Amino acid sequence: MTIRYPNGKKYVPAQRSARVNKKNLSFSNRGKTLEDELNETNEYYLSNNEAVIHKKPVPIQIVHVKYPARSAAVITEAYFRSPSTTDYNGVWKGKYIDFEAKETKNTTSFPLQNIHDHQVEHMKKVTEQAGIAFLLVKFTVLDRYFIIPYEYFEKKWERMIAGGRKSITLSEMEEISIEIKAGFNPRLDYLAALDSFLKPAFEETIERQENL
């Protein structure tokens, strides 16, 4: 029995160089994980002075460390902890950006069990502080990407809490989010999407900022 912990996925170390992976040489780049795509995008933003957005390291509880002579310290016992925040945050044109990125193999809906309670709580708090919080969801089989502003996502989350459905259907997704297309460089231009399409979604947030 393999225990998948804490996010239901087996840990797979990041590839040292995505460039040498044959799959990634294909035009569609379908083999790339969402994390790879976002890392590339964030590197592009950083080197073009468009934004400073980083993925947070995976939270680890370190239990034992060895300090061998003449070589680097080795962690010999540690455990994965549940994240208490989202994975990505940073600054873009003076605005605080905060999001969680999730992939699903599902083709008809996005299962909400992919998101932790405390991550939702975190996005709510960020929104209250006039930060821009959203979810970025990739339907890997469909090769489709959606950005859902937190304030829209919250309604579906509350529906689940109230006993309703435990997922967001694809057609609901099309309604409450902005679909973005993967491109070459930047790979996933999510900031452009925020800039041009999501202004109405963040109107309340912007108003809140003015009143703080």
Among 194, 88, 110, CA closest to 149 = 194
Distance from the Cα of residue 32 to its chain's centroid:
15
CB of 1 to its own copies, least distance (A): 5
Residue 85 among known ligand-binding residues: yes
Residue 87 among known ligand-binding residues: yes
Task: Using the minimum distance from each CB to its own copies, give the nearer residue, 87 or 172.
Answer: 87
Task: Using the minimum distance from each CB to its own copies, give the nearer residue, 66 or 166.
Answer: 66
CB of 52 to its own copies, least distance (A): 5
Task: Using the minimum distance from each CB to its own copies, give the nearer residue, 79 or 141.
Answer: 79
Per the CB < 8 A criterion, the answer to whether 85 and 119 are in contact is yes
Q: Which residues bind its own copies (CB under 8 A)?
A: 1-6, 10-11, 13, 46, 49, 51-52, 54, 56-60, 62-63, 65, 67-80, 84-85, 89-96, 98, 122, 125-126, 128-131, 208-209, 212
CB of 196 to its own copies, least distance (A): 16
Among 162, 156, 151, CA closest to 112 = 156
Residue 61 among known ligand-binding residues: no
CB of 145 to its own copies, least distance (A): 24
Residue 119 among known ligand-binding residues: yes
Per the CB < 8 A criterion, the answer to whether 97 and 177 are in contact is no
SS (H, E, C) 115-176: CCHHHHHHHHHHHHCCCEEEEEEEECCCCEEEEEEHHHHHHHHHHHHCCCCCEEEHHHHHHH
Task: Using the minimum distance from each CB to its own copies, give the nearer residue, 110 or 202.
Answer: 202
Task: Using the minimum distance from each CB to its own copies, give the nearer residue, 13 or 163.
Answer: 13
CB of 99 to its own copies, least distance (A): 13
Burial of residue 191 (number of CB atoms within 10 Å: 0-12, 13-18, 19+): buried
Biggest alpha carbon distance in the chain? 59
Known binding-site positions for Mg(2+): 85, 87, 100, 119
